[in-house]
Amino acid sequence: MTTTPNWLDKRAYLTPHQEAIVLPDDTTYTFLDLQNDAKRLAKHFSNQGFQKGDHIALLSDNCYEFAVAVHALSYIGAVGCLLNTRLTKSELAFQLEDANVQGLIFQSKYENTALKLKEELEVLTVPLQIPHVEWLESDSELKLDNVSHILYTSGTTGNPKGVQLTYGNHYWNATASVLNLGLHSNDRWLLSLPMFHVGGLSILFKSVIYGMPVHLHERFDVDTIHHDIMNKGVTVMSVVALMVEELMKRLGDGQYPDTFRCFLLGGGPASQSLLEHCRDKNVPVFQSYGMTETASQFCTLDEDSMLSKIGSSGKALFPGQLKIVEEGQECSANEIGEIYVKGPTITPGYWNRTDANEDTFDHDWLKTGDLGYLDEDGYLFVVDRRKDLIISGGENVYPAQIESVLKGMNGIQDVGVVGVDDDKWGQVPAAFVVLNDAVSKGDIQAFAEANLAKYKVPKAYYFVDELPRNASKKIQRHKLLELLREENDA
């Protein structure tokens, strides 16, 4: 089993005084500060009884302490279950229970939620605060096959699944990215994606593995981020399309400094017009393709092909393999099929889901469920996301979950959800509802808001007599989309 030094210990040894994390107000933490705080927080966790191998949940928005906690959990050898703070209490409770967590660390603003979860699940709760205690004397090594995190992802059917990621997945991802983007001594990465998603989390690991400062933002605030890019030497920023759009508006007639290298674009494609606008502004945008199961970007379009291959997600990064499969056969160039991926950044499997693992893996290949093709030069074009997936402002929304929740409401007999285009969010969910009792749209809306994260709440409701279903009773979503077009044309 491959072993490395604990990454933060090693980094604090190699470049102790290098900036690790810089906040928008210019508060700066070096790698030595980060190590110091992480070892103290680890000691505190250890005093609470958290142990090697425990599953510990973290409920927090982006903040310095989040980063400290991620490293502290690695010092005690616990597995971090990172929770999406936008989920409802019942969605959170499901994940805590499913992951069998021993503890829940919460940011103070989520105290109420944490206390309710504690009552319900009898889980040990610990506020996310760095205490004034001594350091934990910890194991100074990481075994790369060990699971470091469980991140939940929804699927086309059933409940969310916990994607296990190992230290090795993160390390290979970080080095694969370097082999694509290069590594400059002045690199600074802007992090405003949620760190409870793999896209944000992976930047933390890049920081410590590369010895690179991260400009850490709680959330995407276009003015603050514009200011950082213009004034603080940011070289790379991970984004979703919506962010690029807003930043380009904010930039107006201006120009980014020459030190700015690129936007690394994940979470669904950007429109051709946006990419062309960026090209005209001399702002490189590298479209990527990846998912939680691949520890973030798996394919990325290189700079040289940004313009000649607009719409492509590029090629699988150096250590990864990708193929297109249709009916068990590998497709030729330009033939559409399911995207299969393989390599050392791929999850070892879903937590406690033998069935899902059997469905998802074909030997060492992960079947993504996404459809795409490779063109004659081997560039990936994703033509359809995981069956039915709606990507709204960079968040993955699965119709099946919304349908399952709404069907739990009295008066609702059946529900079908589809994604509809939206100027701001890319896509938003819309629900077709079959009633068996008198219920108003307002009632449904209130019920949805109480039970679903905000970004999953449908933006429109349509009452229908029945849903189009095929012979095996699966909802025919393309027919729902046709209904929608008729509705809008009317």
User: Considering beta carbons, is residue 38 or 59 the nearer one to a copy of itself?
Assistant: 38
Spatial distance between the Cα atoms of 316 and 319, rounded to a whole number of angstroms = 8
- Kind and range of the H or E element at 117? helix 111-121
5 touches a copy of itself by CB under 8 A: yes
The whole-angstrom separation of Cα 217 and Cα 213 is 13
Q: Restricting to residues 369-398, name those near a copy of itself by CB under 8 A.
A: 378
Comparing CB distances to a copy of itself, the nearer of 334 and 413 is: 334
Q: Between helices 7-14 and 31-47, what is the axis angle to 10°? A: 150
Instruction: Decide if 235 contacts 186 (C-beta within 8 A).
Output: yes
Figure out which of the listed residues 184, 454, 478, 485 binds a copy of itself, where binding follows CB under 8 A: 184
Segment 12 to 31, residues that bind a copy of itself, using CB under 8 A:
13-15
Between 264 and 430, name the residue whose CB sits nearer to a copy of itself.
264
One of 23, 183, 251, 483 touching a copy of itself (CB under 8 A): 183
**Positions in 336-355 near a copy of itself (CB under 8 A):** 342-344
Q: Is 364 in the site for a copy of itself (CB under 8 A)?
A: yes
* H or E stretch covering 174: helix 167-181
C-beta closer to a copy of itself: residue 123 or 165 = 165
Reported residue count of the chain is 490
Tokens for 262, please give them: 């690129």
- Which among 192, 146, 180, 120 is positioned nearest to 52, based on CA atoms? 146
Closest residue by Cα to residue 166 from 3, 288, 386, 34: 3
C-alpha distances in Å from residue 453, one per residue of 150, 153, 408: 20, 14, 16
Contact segment (CB under 8 A) with a copy of itself among 80-88, 203-211, 394-402, 412-420 equals 203-211
Candidates 425, 336, 343; CA nearest to 382 is 336
Q: Among residues 25, 134, 185, 253, which is the contact residue for a copy of itself, using CB under 8 A? A: 185
Least distance to a copy of itself from the beta carbon of 110, Å?
A: 35
> Could you say whether residue 318 binds a copy of itself (CB under 8 A)?
yes
According to DSSP, the β-strands at 147-153 and 161-166 are antiparallel
Give the three-class secondary structure for 152.
strand
Interface with a copy of itself, residue 4, by CB under 8 A? yes
Distance, in Å, from the CA atom of 315 to the CA atom of 317, rounded to the nearest integer, reads 6
Is 346:290 a contact under the CB 8 Å cutoff? no
Q: What is the CA radius of gyration of the chain?
A: 23
Q: Which of 77, 162, 168, 267 binds a copy of itself (CB under 8 A)?
A: 168
Q: Which of 113, 164, 175, 401 binds a copy of itself (CB under 8 A)?
A: 175
The answer to whether the beta carbons of residues 469 and 475 sit under 8 Å apart is yes
Q: How far is the CB of 259 from a copy of itself (least distance, A)?
A: 14
Does 307 interact with a copy of itself (rule: CB under 8 A)? no
Stretch that binds a copy of itself, among 3-11, 105-113, 152-160, 411-419 (CB under 8 A): 3-11
- Whole-angstrom distance, CA of residue 462 vs CA of residue 449: 17
Half-sphere exposure of 77 (CA within 13 A, CB side): 14
Least distance between a copy of itself and beta carbon 264 (Å): 16
Sequence-distant (6+) residues with CB within 8 A of 474 are: none
Q: Which of residues 125-164 bind a copy of itself (CB under 8 A)?
A: 141
Site string for a copy of itself, 75-104 (x = CB under 8 A): ------------------------------
315 binds a copy of itself (CB under 8 A): yes
- How many residues at the interface with a copy of itself, by CB under 8 A? 33
Shortest reach from residue 468's CB to a copy of itself, in Å: 42
- The least distance separating a copy of itself from the CB of residue 135, rounded to whole angstroms, comes to 17
Q: Minimal distance in Å, beta carbon 54 to a copy of itself? A: 26
Nearer to a copy of itself, 145 or 276 (CB): 145
**Cα atoms in the 13 Å half-sphere on the side-chain side of 199:** 25
Interface ranges with a copy of itself (CB under 8 A)? 2-5, 10-11, 13-15, 141, 168, 175, 178-179, 182-185, 209-211, 302-303, 315, 318-321, 342-344, 364, 378
